[in-house]
Structure 1
Amino acid sequence: MMISRRSYLLPTIILLCITYALFSNLPPGAEPPNAHNHLYQQYATDPPPPKEGRTRWRKHVEQYPISDYIPLPTSATSPIPRIQYDFPRESWFARWGRVKRQRAVKKAFQHAWKGYKDNAWLEDELSPLTGGHRETFAGWAATLVDSLDTLVIMGLMDEFEEAVEAVEFIDFTTTNAIQINIFETNIRYLGGLLGAYDLTHGRYPVLLKKAVEIADMIYGSFDTRNRMPQSRWEWTRSAGGLKIEPGRNTILAELGSLNLEFTRLSQLTNDPKYFDAIQRITDFLEESQEKTNVPGMWPLMVNAKDLEFADPRFTIGGMADSTYEYLPKEHMLLGGQTSQYRKMYNSFMKALKSHLLFRPKTLDGRDILFAGNMRVSEPSNGKETLEPQWEHLKCYLGGTVGIGAKVFDRPEELSIARKLVDGCIWAYDVMPTGIMPEVLHLTVCKNRENCKLSKSARTGKTTSDGKKLPPGVADIPDAKYLLRPEAIESVFIMYRLTGDTLLQDAAWRMFQNIERMTRTSYGHAAISDVRDPESPQMDYMESFWLAETLKYFYLIFSEPDLVNLDKYVLNTEAHPFKRPTAASQ
């Protein structure tokens, strides 16, 4: 039977009239259902109100100008070997299962992104329990910038373009912060802008424009007598034409983890000043690497003012981590055009294997590895103290050693990398929540031929607060989970290096447990105790949850050519930079 268009046009008009009558009489401040209660619609067309009365950064004459910049290297060296496994064509059933997992990760991201967009747009972080926001990294919309390339990777291009429009309005010339953390600004903001620019093949020039803007500001932190940066930069002094000094207690990672971002910016702009800035740090680290109390490594704290190392603590964990992570990665980004990073990595690995690696005792005696901390007094008395401490931050190490084994042609160390990755998976699996804590201590296996726990130790200890420790875990000083990415980072990298689908299964267990324990109405929240399946949540969702953790979970269930490791190198905040030369096949 034919139905005339008029016959259902009339009811439609009536419905529209009723809707208008209802919503045009809403009380002041009310919004119709599904209306977005956020600022992003306004800022898509109009800039935010100006921040009056603040000190602003402007380019100025340097106190200690450079007369001759160190250029990017151009000498040819041997090609970098291929990194990624040669994945076979997958079956339809394998693809169905993989895509199903991938979609679950994407839904988790969309949930958290909506919470940020609706409640904390252009702020640094969402408070996932209350729906508020926090200013943590100078107030420059850290979560927005940090998440740009994740939006691209997940195919959320409408959301990405909204975010790119908002980036234009971020004012990098001023902040409420008295000091600017150069490391965090570098990896999150500069890295986020460059990663999104590279991943979209330069189609959004505003991203490079804003990258230069933030880089030119923090470049001011290098204007010191020895050109070492003031890592917690007193930026208003520099803006006022006053001198600054690097710190006598500078965190190693904050000094040694600026390479990738500044190098990539020099590659994209052909301006050598950025590479010059970080190359002076690298030359200092290389020159001093064999002169510390643990030759091949640097202590936790550096006297960047006097270029000295007095700290007796050595670790590959927090406050040191990305300095070592960047050794093979900078080699990749430079296309292998210098042997400097190969030399530094070789020296580091010798020290790591000699001093810090250990095998723990477990129920089944499995062959896994961890890296402890070491306190070393003057080498003359030869006293070394190993602390069998492991932390979630250290889980990056398996991926780093795996990459190093490939790019520096050290195939015998791929097994070490796998044992480190398996150690992190084990630390997830043995916890009642299926999530690894922030810090734990392990039981060292001194006889590597037999690492099974004794019968008396197989029940696990009970702590003073009545919590039972998993067998093999000696203590858990910090039981929180802060939504960190390092474990899934290395699981992802090892999967891309080996093609072992058991790693995808481990990642899926990790994701399901994290999603279950951390999901809130507004996003995802850190939890206070991974030993408690009913752990309270914390009103805390750092930008790396969207920038790193969910990105790595998504990528491990993606087709292997998405962010191919032979084409991109990922910075310590998981931002992909294009490698300038193709890997050899």
Structure 2
Amino acid sequence: MLLFSRRRVWALILTGLIFFFLISFRRLNSAALSSVGLYPKNGSPHGAGGDSLASYWARIKPHYPVDSMRPLPTGSPSALPPVQTTFAPESATDRSLRLDRQAAVKDAFLRCWKSYRQKAWMSDELAPISGHRKGHFGGWGATLVDSLDTLWIMGLREQFDEAVAAAASISFETTTIKEVNVFETNIRYLGGFLAAYDLSGDARLLKKAREVGDMLYAAFDTPNRMPMTRWDLHAASRGQMQVAHEHVLLAEIGTFSLEFIRLSLLTGDPKWFDAVQRIMEAFQEQQQTSHLPGMWPVVVNARKMEFDKHTDYTLNAMADSLYEYLPKTHALVGGLLPMYREMYEASMDTAIRYNFFRPMVPDGNDILISGMISAKSDNSHTKLRPEGQHLGCYTGGMLALGGKLIQNQTHVGTGEKLMDGCVWAYQAAPLGIMPELFYALPCKSTEQCAWDEKLWVQEVIDMAGLNNLDVDSADAEALIAKKRLPKGYTHIPDARYILRPEAIESVFVLYRITGRQDLIESAWKMFEAIDQNTRTELANSALGNVLEDKPPMSDSMESFWLGETLKYFYLMFSEPDLISLDEYVFNTEAHPLKRLLPT
């Protein structure tokens, strides 16, 4: 008995020493990581609140586990150049007007939020005319999660607390749809939870972010660790093996760095950082081997990891956010990952040379539009498709932000002209709302571009597929009137407005960077035109044709209306220190994530 007791005592002592060592090591490791912002000082590798219970998706054994995990970046973040300008004190009159406009935006948000709360709570979307529910984005409450940080930013604490409690109950173990869009899930759900956590510090939000992150990480369980961008979640849950697809959109495989790296920084778990770096390192290796060196084609092969073979190159739809995330990731990590700055500079050198064109417009404004390039075999054979897209309006803000971060005034100036191009597209349109897609006539010279009415009419005829010799002046006038083409537009193949945020996004960013006072009025005109023409009895609806006096409504209100568009309008009329661009970086769904800053 005595021998047994002594052994037991020594075992207990040894166990205690081991436990003490592990706790001490964990605290030291946590403190070291906290020094560069890898997760909160009172956090743990399991996330805020010390959640040690693995989520459903974290418990599923992978078929292709990672052999060697990339470690999180270490060192002190750099003091990157400031982004925001210094604003002069505003007069009492200006302040009163600004606050009135801010209140109008907040009222528009509350109207929509109330209707969503009453008729579509916990669903992905509210149908703003019929009041029905929609579930296009997994059935996990996309509007609810997308709106969390907007609620916080607008000071709606009661609604925020209710929304967080509801969001905490969402289960990501299954879905209501057949196939999950991993890109959309990442930017809306993971980005939404991370931003709301960064703003509020509510531990429940980081717990949900980790749950979403674990689910998304399962989509990377392929032989080469490239993700399933359109993912059969049900099959993965059953343990079926999966292989990355051969035809993948550039944006859908290249838009993870902000959310995945931020999640790894907050939790101390490097697996998400490792996952995204595998993608981005492959992109960097092939950046100069594409048909348009410096850029990547719209379609890539994830299965073979070929990111340089196709022929169409754009910063617009299907490619957009890959480019957007390069300077933003550089800002997020405080310059600790130089590859993102390098990739941004190389891609923009090419885009500035090939993709941006000056359109011929009646007042001769020096503006730019972001178009599409088709390249054959090498960049000596390129063809510009002079199309402008509402989605492409983010490019102005991206280049201005990137230019400030790397102290490149050419980028800032180019971004300003791209933003001015989108403001023109709004102001020239019949209702003051830019269409989804349009064409314009590129100027022969970016230095001088006088308006030529005959040349514009000829281009309209050509774009209509008619023979110019068979169309007299009366016929041309009738064609222009029938198509309701504003001067400067040559063709509008898609006249919808789906409540998009990209134009006001760039106006907001350029206002914060330049302080241009005319942008305040431009933003207000945009808001008035959008709200007046999209308002329904319940909320706001996408429009079918902005060329008509009373455009038809499509009974659609995507979550980004509350998560992005109204947020940017609200911030446009806020004090400049509310979500400062020197402290936060927005993901492509307008979710602000905290930047690593030097201590």
TM-score normalised by structure 2 residue count: 0.86
**Residue of structure 2 aligned with 1:300, choices 298, 303, 313:** 298
User: What residue in structure 2 maps to residue 290 of structure 1?
Assistant: 288
Is the contact made by 2:500 and 2:560 (CA closer than 8 Å) also made in structure 1? yes
Distance 1:379 1:480, change over 3 A: same
User: What residue in structure 1 maps to residue 273 of structure 2?
Assistant: 275
Counterpart Cα distance in 1 of 2:58 and 2:176 = 16
Counterpart Cα distance in 1 of 2:479 and 2:183 = 37
**CA-CA distance at 1:167 after TM superposition:** 0.8
Is the contact made by 1:488 and 1:507 (CA closer than 8 Å) also made in structure 2? yes
**CA-CA distance at 1:358 after TM superposition:** 0.9
SS in 2 for 1:66: coil
User: What residue in structure 1 maps to residue 207 of structure 2?
Assistant: 209
Amino acid at match of 2:168: E
SS in 2 for 1:289: coil
User: What residue in structure 2 maps to residue 129 of structure 1?
Assistant: 129
Decide which moves more: 387-396 or 348-357. Answer: 348-357
User: What residue in structure 1 maps to residue 63 of structure 2?
Assistant: 63
Counterpart Cα distance in 2 of 1:462 and 1:420 = 31
User: What residue in structure 2 maps to residue 44 of structure 1?
Assistant: none
Distance 1:453 1:104, change over 3 A: same
Counterpart Cα distance in 2 of 1:98 and 1:397 = 26
Deviations 1:126-178 (A, max 9, x none): 00010111111010000000000000011111111110110122111111222
**CA-CA distance at 1:93 after TM superposition:** 1.1
**CA-CA distance at 1:533 after TM superposition:** 2.3
Map 1:79-478 onto structure 2 (within 5 A).
Answer: 79-200=79-200, 202=201, 204-308=202-306, 309-379=308-378, 382-456=380-454, 463=479, 466-478=482-494
**CA-CA distance at 1:180 after TM superposition:** 1.1
**CA-CA distance at 1:458 after TM superposition:** 7.0
User: What residue in structure 1 maps to residue 547 of structure 2?
Assistant: 531
Deviations 1:297-342 (A, max 9, x none): 0000110000113321111000100000000000011111121111
Counterpart Cα distance in 2 of 1:320 and 1:405 = 20
Is the contact made by 2:78 and 2:597 (CA closer than 8 Å) also made in structure 1? no
Counterpart Cα distance in 1 of 2:109 and 2:565 = 10
Map 1:435-584 onto structure 2 (within 5 A).
Answer: 435-456=433-454, 463=479, 466-582=482-598
SS in 1 for 2:492: strand
Distance 1:136 1:111, change over 3 A: same
Is the contact made by 2:57 and 2:211 (CA closer than 8 Å) also made in structure 1? no
**CA-CA distance at 1:77 after TM superposition:** 6.8
**CA-CA distance at 1:450 after TM superposition:** 3.1
SS in 2 for 1:169: coil
Distance 1:70 1:463, change over 3 A: farther
Amino acid at match of 2:331: M
Is the contact made by 2:152 and 2:160 (CA closer than 8 Å) also made in structure 1? yes
Give the number of aligned pairs.
Answer: 525
Deviations 1:208-256 (A, max 9, x none): 1111111101110111111110111122222122210111001100111
Unaligned runs of 5+ in 1: 1-55
Is the contact made by 1:77 and 1:338 (CA closer than 8 Å) also made in structure 2? no
Counterpart Cα distance in 2 of 1:297 and 1:448 = 22
Counterpart Cα distance in 2 of 1:474 and 1:519 = 29
**CA-CA distance at 1:68 after TM superposition:** 2.2
Deviations 1:540-568 (A, max 9, x none): 00000000000000001000010011111
Is the contact made by 1:71 and 1:272 (CA closer than 8 Å) also made in structure 2? yes
Amino acid at match of 2:125: E
Distance 1:124 1:188, change over 3 A: same
Counterpart Cα distance in 1 of 2:360 and 2:70 = 49
**CA-CA distance at 1:205 after TM superposition:** 0.9
Distance 1:92 1:472, change over 3 A: same
Counterpart Cα distance in 2 of 1:199 and 1:463 = 53
Counterpart Cα distance in 1 of 2:493 and 2:164 = 41
**CA-CA distance at 1:95 after TM superposition:** 0.5
Is the contact made by 1:234 and 1:244 (CA closer than 8 Å) also made in structure 2? no
Counterpart Cα distance in 1 of 2:456 and 2:246 = 46
Is the contact made by 1:57 and 1:174 (CA closer than 8 Å) also made in structure 2? no
SS in 2 for 1:80: coil
Deviations 1:20-58 (A, max 9, x none): xxxxxxxxxxxxxxxxxxxxxxxxxxxxxxxxxxxx857
Is the contact made by 2:174 and 2:233 (CA closer than 8 Å) also made in structure 1? no
SS in 2 for 1:319: coil
Counterpart Cα distance in 1 of 2:523 and 2:300 = 36
Amino acid at match of 1:563: I
**CA-CA distance at 1:363 after TM superposition:** 0.5
Distance 1:66 1:391, change over 3 A: same
Counterpart Cα distance in 2 of 1:77 and 1:59 = 34
Distance 1:265 1:77, change over 3 A: closer
Unaligned runs of 5+ in 2: 1-55, 461-476
SS in 2 for 1:383: strand
Amino acid at match of 2:229: S
Distance 1:336 1:185, change over 3 A: same
Is the contact made by 2:78 and 2:598 (CA closer than 8 Å) also made in structure 1? no
Deviations 1:253-288 (A, max 9, x none): 011101100111011100000111101111011011
Distance 1:77 1:142, change over 3 A: closer
Percent sequence identity is 48
**CA-CA distance at 1:79 after TM superposition:** 2.4
Is the contact made by 2:77 and 2:596 (CA closer than 8 Å) also made in structure 1? no
TM-score normalised by structure 1 residue count: 0.88
Counterpart Cα distance in 2 of 1:134 and 1:464 = 38
Counterpart Cα distance in 1 of 2:178 and 2:85 = 47
User: What residue in structure 1 maps to residue 26 of structure 2?
Assistant: none
Amino acid at match of 2:111: H
Is the contact made by 1:58 and 1:173 (CA closer than 8 Å) also made in structure 2? no
Counterpart Cα distance in 2 of 1:121 and 1:473 = 41
Counterpart Cα distance in 2 of 1:472 and 1:462 = 17
SS in 2 for 1:560: coil
What RMSD over aligned residues (CA atoms) do the two structures have, in Å? 1.6
**CA-CA distance at 1:464 after TM superposition:** 8.0
Distance 1:78 1:138, change over 3 A: closer
